């Protein structure tokens, strides 16, 4: 459901640190702020970054215009989200046996759910099993224009994705759309790994956009560990484990973004560390797995070579004093 990875970056890929700073500098600091330079533009300095926003002060009746297809009526938006959830549930629950662990950790208020990314089926599995409220949106896919092509137009029609351009020329718009998701009372799901990989129990490095969005909005980060989607085993067991929320509240400074990125990585890595690669399925299931997933340059063989870091190589910065 969620888009193309023709550049090998993954359908839900996020901006890296340098791109993040260039694209959102004006969103973080006043125009006359000084700081390190990148391409001649001022970057956000830690003391001048704004505090996290309080969602309790937001008038949610006036924020839907900032969402994709914000001109839709409340009923149209509800119906399209319900339809997407229903289709996802029929497809995924027919193919897999899905178990939710930690259901009590689903939050009733807006949150940012970060998940490990083993397949394009991950968002469909989540959409099929997460509570209907708060509504769930996904940051992605990475597409030039979701209004071109049948699959892209359908995704745009659902109102669920918060897309961004692979050229990274619309990041400020996508960041503000993500904020509108939270302000509307909904939740956002992101894969901070930025691409799919094939190894259960492994976790690629996190890009920093997810932590920035959570800190900017003042919403908790909830880790979500997905097991069993690396191969499309028919009636295979898929387990979704919901982790303990990581409260935010710090200002979205560069140090805070790095700290919460590392905290989320370690929390999710601990949740998947005991998972093991699935047995290779039969020919039809292998064909279906590769049909669903666009592995990017080098295909599945190249994706197999990807490995995440050891926890000792992911330091957690100290809190700001």
Residue-level pLDDT at 112? 98
Q: Please state, in angstroms and rounded to a whole number, the distance separating the CA atoms of residues 227 and 275.
A: 7
- Give the ranges where the chain is alpha helix by DSSP (H): 17-28, 74-95, 121-129, 150-158, 171-183, 209-217, 254-272, 283-292, 299-304
Cβ pair 120, 11 in contact under 8 A: yes
pLDDT (tens, 9 = 90+) of the chain, 321 residues, equals: 443 333 333 444 454 444 555 544 444 433 333 333 333 333 333 333 444 555 555 556 567 778 888 889 999 999 999 999 999 999 999 999 999 999 999 999 999 999 999 999 999 999 999 999 999 999 976 665 666 767 778 888 888 988 776 666 567 888 888 999 999 999 999 999 988 899 999 999 999 999 999 999 999 999 999 999 999 999 999 999 999 999 998 789 999 999 999 999 999 999 999 999 999 999 999 999 998 888 888 888 999 999 999 999 999 999 875
> Residue 154 is encoded by which pair of tokens?
């359908």
Run of H or E residues at 99: strand 97-101
Give SS3 for 321: coil
Residue-level pLDDT at 39? 32
Residue-level pLDDT at 229? 96
Cβ pair 147, 8 in contact under 8 A: no
> 291-301 pLDDT, tens per residue?
888 888 888 89
| CATH 3.40.1130 holds for 17-28+50-313 | yes
Q: Please state, in angstroms and rounded to a whole number, the distance separating the CA atoms of residues 29 and 50.
A: 8
Q: Please state, in angstroms and rounded to a whole number, the distance separating the CA atoms of residues 124 and 88.
A: 5
Distances (CA, A) of 2 to 11, 84, 95, 295, 314: 7, 12, 18, 14, 29
> Residue 249 is encoded by which pair of tokens?
């509240």
Q: Please state, in angstroms and rounded to a whole number, the distance separating the CA atoms of residues 145 and 93.
A: 30
- Provide the 10 A C-beta neighbour count for residue 237: 12
Q: Which residues of 134-150 are buried (b: 16+ CB within 10 A; e: fewer)?
A: bbbbbbbbbbeebeeee
Residue-level pLDDT at 58? 59
DSSP string covering 161-218: EEEE-TT-S-HHHHHHHHHHHHHTT-EEEE-TT-S----TT--PPPPSHHHHHHHHHT
In degrees, to the nearest 5, what angle opens at C-alpha 314 toward C-alphas 192 and 116? 30
Residue-level pLDDT at 181? 95
> 19-71 pLDDT, tens per residue?
555 544 444 433 333 333 333 333 333 333 444 555 555 556 567 778 888 88
């Amino acid at each position: 459901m969620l888009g193309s990875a023709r550049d090998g970056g993954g359908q839900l890929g996020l901006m890296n640190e340098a791109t993040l700073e260039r694209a959102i500098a004006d969103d973080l600091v006043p125009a006359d702020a000084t700081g390190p330079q990148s391409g001649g533009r001022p970057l956000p300095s830690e003391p001048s970054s704004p505090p996290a926003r309080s969602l309790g002060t937001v008038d949610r009746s006036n924020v839907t215009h900032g969402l994709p297809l914000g001109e839709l009526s409340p009923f149209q938006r509800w119906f399209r989200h319900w339809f997407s959830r229903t289709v996802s549930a029929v497809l995924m629950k027919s193919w897999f046996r899905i178990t939710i662990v930690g259901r009590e950790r689903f939050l009733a208020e807006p949150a940012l759910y970060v998940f490990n990314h083993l397949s394009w089926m991950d968002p469909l599995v989540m959409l099929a099993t997460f509570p209907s409220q708060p509504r769930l949106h996904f940051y992605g896919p990475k597409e030039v224009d979701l209004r071109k092509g049948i699959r892209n137009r359908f995704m745009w029609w659902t109102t669920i994705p918060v897309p961004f351009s692979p050229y990274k020329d619309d990041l400020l718009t996508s960041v503000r759309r993500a904020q509108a998701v939270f302000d509307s009372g909904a939740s956002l799901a992101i894969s901070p790994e930025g691409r799919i990989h094939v190894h259960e129990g492994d976790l690629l490095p996190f890009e920093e956009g997810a932590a920035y969005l959570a800190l900017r909005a003042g919403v908790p980060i909830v880790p979500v560990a997905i097991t069993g989607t690396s191969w499309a085993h028919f009636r295979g067991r898929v387990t979704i484990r919901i982790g303990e929320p990581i409260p935010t509240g710090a200002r979205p400074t560069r140090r805070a973004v790095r700290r919460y990125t590392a905290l989320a990585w370690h929390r999710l890595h601990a949740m998947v560390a005991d998972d093991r690669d699935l047995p290779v399925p039969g020919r039809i299931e292998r064909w279906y797995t590769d049909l669903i997933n666009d592995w990017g340059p080098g295909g599945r063989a190249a994706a197999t070579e990807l490995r995440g870091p050891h926890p000792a190589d992911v330091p957690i910065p100290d809190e700001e004093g």
